Chain A
Amino acid sequence: MLYRILSLQNITFKEGIKDKSILAIFFIAILTFIAIIIFPNLFARDIGKVCIDVALSSITLLGLILIFFTCSSILSKDVDKKTIYIVLARPFSRAEYIIGKYLGFLSLEVFVITIISVLSTVGVFICYHYNIHYFPKHFSFYEYLLAILMIIEMLAILIALLLFFSSLTTQGFTATILTLASYIIGSSLNDVLDTISNSSDSIKINKGIIYVINLVKYIFPNLSLFDFKLEVAHGVKISSQNITTAFLYGIIYILLLISLSCLLYKRKEFP
């Protein structure tokens, strides 16, 4: 069972890493590396903030590009062009397919993000070295790396979502759109909910609605939980409670999505 899953993980990774979009991603990564070194100097006092913000945002953005271009095109091909036949013609169970595919995308994501992170961390480090006085007092590379790890976990949720939606739809494209929609909802969820609950002082919102809001908060992937850009950029200590909550929430969310996808794929047909 394990060697089957790993063989699928392996070709998924290979297929992904040789894709043209990877070249584009690394190209953008190098551009941002240069930007991190040069660009913040224009902002005098805020050099540190801008530098960290650019680094973390670009990691997120490139991770998203990887998911929405590379991973989703591979998955679409599986469903639309039936490349899935070469997998399912082997003794794979549908669950093994899902897990192998997930691990393939995940390893691709981790690999690419690691390379980009090394690049951007070097960039930030250089920037830090020359402008140490303009960096937040309590800036720490440890927390910076922690923020990157949380970005990776957020992307891991998105991959699980992509697989989950592909189990519901018959077209790869629909799955991509649904994942994109959940990303947009998921990352603005906290802001929207905050606005609503803050306004509850002036306008009376009934308890039912608040209950629904809380429910929505957990059902939709609450991706803003994983965003620690602000803290790191301002040198505010990341609360360990926030990290733990986000980490566990992410793991549970991924496990749930993968299990659901396994169940749905079991019944799925590929005519």
Chain B
Amino acid sequence: MIQFKKVSKTYKYNFWDKKITALKELTLTIEKGEVFGFLGPNGAGKSTAIKLLMDFIRPSSGMILIDGIDSKEPQARRLLGYLPENPYFYDQLTPKDLLSFGAKASGVKPKDAKKRISYLLKKLELEHVSKRRLRQFSKGMLQRVGLALSLVHDPQVVVLDEPMSGLDPLGRTLVSKLILELKERGKTVFFSSHILSDIERLCDRIAIIHKGELRFLGYIKNVISKYNEQEQDISLPPKETTSYKRILSPVEKLFIEVINQ
């Protein structure tokens, strides 16, 4: 469904700044209907990869296909629903205004749009604020609006950049449920997250990137069985091991191992 083909990206803010290589020849295929988790430490290049996929920025080399269509074509985004890392919207609008824009711009029929919007507002517990201006919203509320916006046209592929960030525990459970529902309905979900327990619960497959390079790619069930068997003691990196010790989950063990390589 989504194919990254040797995608590299170097940022250059000003011509006197040093180049930053945010992504190095990322090759990755996300299959139709799978829930794919995208992991990596801060600054690893996750958001960069997602922005490339959305065509907000352009690869320095390589290409990205979405259902066989080059990501540079506006057509490709017909299939996509996207949640930005830090959702920030036009703040004079209400969630309703915003969602109906999303639906209209994606070519949803007005009648369907109305139903879909009230369904999503209910689902994300935004009904009581659906007519308030977005500037009065808290971070978590904005995150919920962003999620609703990404789903308003019932897209085939949902791309979420840290969907859990800023949400309360109930909100996180809600999002988990939402993702599982999407999976049941055969949608493809591609999301980045730092919350490994959610990743473990939701994903079919994960990729870990570090410093712009793909370091691990595999099925979550293999990871779990592998790390549950071997009782080897992978501890946190030396400088962080103080007296703080706890039992690590399989994905956490993998994460630390991969990053320390």
A residues adjacent to B (C-beta < 8 A): 3-4, 7-8, 10-11, 14-15, 18-19, 74, 77, 81-83, 85-93, 96, 267, 269-271
Q: Are B101 and A10 in contact (CB under 8 A)?
A: yes
A110-B86 Cα distance, complex, nearest whole Å = 34
Contacts of A74 in B (CB 8 A): 90
Given that A15-B92, A91-B75 are known contacts, is A86 also in contact with B56, CB under 8 Å in the complex?
no
Which partner residue on chain A sits nearest B78 by CB separation? A91
Which partner residue on chain B sits nearest A6 by CB separation? B104
Contacts of B149 in A (CB 8 A): 86
Contacts of A85 in B (CB 8 A): 54, 56, 82, 84
Q: Are A15 and B93 in contact (CB under 8 A)?
A: yes
Contacts of B74 in A (CB 8 A): 91-93, 96
What are 29 pairs between A and B in contact, CB < 8 Å?
A3-B104, A3-B107, A4-B107, A8-B105, A11-B97, A11-B101, A14-B93, A77-B88, A82-B86, A83-B88, A85-B54, A87-B105, A88-B54, A89-B150, A90-B77, A90-B105, A90-B106, A91-B78, A91-B105, A92-B77, A93-B74, A96-B74, A267-B58, A269-B57, A269-B58, A270-B51, A270-B57, A271-B11, A271-B56
Which partner residue on chain B sits nearest A94 by CB separation? B74
Given that A18-B92, A82-B88 are known contacts, is A88 also in contact with B105, CB under 8 Å in the complex?
no
A88-B82 Cα distance, complex, nearest whole Å = 10
Q: Are A88 and B55 in contact (CB under 8 A)?
A: yes
A83-B142 Cα distance, complex, nearest whole Å = 13
Contacts of B48 in A (CB 8 A): 271
Q: Please, how many residues of chain B have a CB less than 8 angstroms from a CB on the other chain? A: 33
Contacts of A11 in B (CB 8 A): 90, 93, 97-98, 101
Q: Are B77 and A91 in contact (CB under 8 A)?
A: yes
A109-B49 Cα distance, complex, nearest whole Å = 39
Asked whether B102 is an interface residue with its Cβ less than 8 Å from the other chain, the reply is yes
Asked whether B220 is an interface residue with its Cβ less than 8 Å from the other chain, the reply is no
Contacts of B106 in A (CB 8 A): 90-91
Q: Are A4 and B57 in contact (CB under 8 A)?
A: no
Known: A10-B101, A89-B84, A271-B57. 19 other contacts (CB 8 A): A4-B107, A7-B104, A11-B101, A14-B97, A74-B90, A77-B88, A77-B90, A82-B86, A86-B101, A87-B105, A88-B54, A88-B77, A89-B54, A90-B105, A91-B105, A267-B58, A270-B57, A271-B51, A271-B56
A198-B74 Cα distance, complex, nearest whole Å = 54
CB A206 to nearest CB in B, in angstroms, measures 37
Contacts of B105 in A (CB 8 A): 3-4, 7-8, 87, 90-92
Which partner residue on chain B sits nearest A11 by CB separation? B101
CB B257 to nearest CB in A, in angstroms, measures 31
Asked whether B172 is an interface residue with its Cβ less than 8 Å from the other chain, the reply is no
User: Max chain A CB contacts within 10 Å: which of B51, B55, B58, B90?
Assistant: B90
Asked whether B89 is an interface residue with its Cβ less than 8 Å from the other chain, the reply is yes
Asked whether B203 is an interface residue with its Cβ less than 8 Å from the other chain, the reply is no
CB B128 to nearest CB in A, in angstroms, measures 20
Q: Are B133 and A90 in contact (CB under 8 A)?
A: no
- Candidates A18, A91, A96; contact of B133 at CB < 8 Å: A18
- Candidates A14, A90, A267, A269; contact of B56 at CB < 8 Å: A269
Residues of B150-200 whose CB lies within 8 A of A: 150
CB A5 to nearest CB in B, in angstroms, measures 9
Residues of B60-117 whose CB lies within 8 A of A: 74-75, 77-78, 80-82, 84, 86, 88-90, 92-93, 97-98, 101-102, 104-107
Which partner residue on chain B sits nearest A81 by CB separation? B88
User: Max chain B CB contacts within 10 Å: which of A10, A85, A267, A270?
Assistant: A85
Which partner residue on chain B sits nearest A87 by CB separation? B105
A82-B77 Cα distance, complex, nearest whole Å = 18
CB A7 to nearest CB in B, in angstroms, measures 4
CB B64 to nearest CB in A, in angstroms, measures 15
Which partner residue on chain A sits nearest B54 by CB separation? A89
A35-B90 Cα distance, complex, nearest whole Å = 35
Contacts of B84 in A (CB 8 A): 82, 85-86, 89
Contacts of B75 in A (CB 8 A): 91
Contacts of B150 in A (CB 8 A): 89
Q: Are B56 and A88 in contact (CB under 8 A)?
A: yes
Contacts of B56 in A (CB 8 A): 85, 88, 269-271
CB B47 to nearest CB in A, in angstroms, measures 9
Ranked 3 nearest A-B pairs via Cβ:
A18-B92, A7-B104, A89-B82
Contacts of B107 in A (CB 8 A): 3-4, 91
A92-B76 Cα distance, complex, nearest whole Å = 10
Contacts of A270 in B (CB 8 A): 51, 56-57
Contacts of A83 in B (CB 8 A): 88-90
